Amino acid sequence: MLNGKYALITGSSRGIGRAIALKLAAHGVNVAIHYYNNEAAANDTLLQVRQRGADGLLLQADVTKPQDISRMFSQIQDKFSKLDIFVSCARPDIQTFYRSPMEITLDRWRAALDSQAFLIGTQKATSLMPEGGRIIAITYSSSGRTGSWQLWAAMGTAKAALDSLCRYFAVALAPRGITVNGVSPGCIFGEPNMVEGGVLRSLPQAFQEATQNWHESGWIPMRRLGTPVDIANAVMLLCMNEASLTQVK
């Protein structure tokens, strides 16, 4: 049902973004794979996209730089001419923003708030979606609710703003047949490496083990941690035609 559609997935060189790219490719979607530094990992995602029978291309951009985001969408226009799906998944690496609220500097604060590429990205993406489309932000709603993960203060605030912006765009774009959703994972652990594992694999081993034990002991009723593939499945369902209220007669 998604066969022949075109998608851009930011941050698809690694982690959750890569899993989304591979899931959509398995359903016949051609994928623009975005990366920041790690061209080799992005190339590997592209190889795996092609192994699933879809096609794609690579795009490099720093999502904190508006001119980079604009350039990325110009390249999509040149190569794909249109876009059906935009998934905003990239997030700068942890060292650029990881500080408690009492220690954070304005530089790190801004790095987090400028990090989602969602405002400009959505404005640009919709200009390539004349016949409707899907826009999905990977947020982290729970991070901003309790304030308990102090070092996540800036990113938790940025993700709370992202949740909110999704709702504003959802209202603005519904008349055009473009759905806007946020997908908010809990703790996601992929394979124990930095390419497939997600950001939590970059934290100390003791943190990883404590998180794993806590979730498996019953915090999660299914007694297992979420994986990048779980999130990719949710995104794939939101991309289906049936996920649009405009289809209901």
Ligand X SMILES: NC(=O)c1ccc[n+]([C@@H]2O[C@H](COP(=O)([O-])OP(=O)(O)OC[C@H]3O[C@@H](n4cnc5c(N)ncnc54)[C@H](OP(=O)(O)O)[C@@H]3O)[C@@H](O)[C@H]2O)c1
Q: Examine residue 22 and tell whether it contacts ligand X (CB under 6 A).
A: no
The secondary structure of residue 1, as a DSSP letter, is -
Segment interacting with ligand X (CB under 6 A) among 36-44, 69-77, 79-87, 126-134: 36-44
Strand partners, 133: 178
Q: How many residues belong to the chain? A: 249
- In the numeric block, which tokens belong to residue 194? 């930095």
Closer CB to ligand X, 174 or 229, in the complex: 229
Closer CB to ligand X, 64 or 126, in the complex: 64
- In the numeric block, which tokens belong to residue 248? 């209901």
Give dist(CA 24, CA 7) in Å, integer: 8
Question: In the bound complex, which residue of the shown chain has the CB atom lying closest to ligand X?
Answer: 15
Closer CB to ligand X, 54 or 188, in the complex: 188
How far from 208 is each of 138, 187, 197, CA to CA, in Å?
21, 10, 11
Give dist(CA 247, CA 134) in Å, integer: 13
| 156 to 195: interface string for ligand X, x by CB under 6 A | -----------------------------x-xx-------
Site for ligand X in 123-142 (CB under 6 A): 138, 140
Give dist(CA 181, CA 193) in Å, integer: 29
Exactly one of 62, 114, 163, 230 binds ligand X (CB under 6 A); which one?
62
Size of the site for ligand X (CB under 6 A): 28
Exactly one of 151, 200, 229, 243 binds ligand X (CB under 6 A); which one?
200
Q: Residue 94, Cβ neighbours under 10 Å: how many?
A: 14
Closer CB to ligand X, 161 or 199, in the complex: 199
Site for ligand X in 201-240 (CB under 6 A): none
- Rounded to a whole number of angstroms, the minimum distance from the CB of residue 139 to ligand X is 7
- Rounded to a whole number of angstroms, the minimum distance from the CB of residue 60 to ligand X is 8
Only one residue has tokens 């652990």, namely 189
Q: Examine residue 41 and tell whether it contacts ligand X (CB under 6 A).
A: yes
The answer to whether the beta carbons of residues 77 and 128 sit under 8 Å apart is yes
Q: Examine residue 198 and tell whether it contacts ligand X (CB under 6 A).
A: yes
The answer to whether the beta carbons of residues 154 and 97 sit under 8 Å apart is yes
224, 100, 226, 200: which is closest to 154 by C-alpha?
Answer: 100
The answer to whether the beta carbons of residues 64 and 51 sit under 8 Å apart is no
Site for ligand X in 73-112 (CB under 6 A): 89-93
- Rounded to a whole number of angstroms, the minimum distance from the CB of residue 35 to ligand X is 4
Residues lying near ligand X in the complex (CB under 6 A):
11, 13-17, 35-38, 41, 61-64, 89-93, 138, 140, 185, 187-188, 198-200
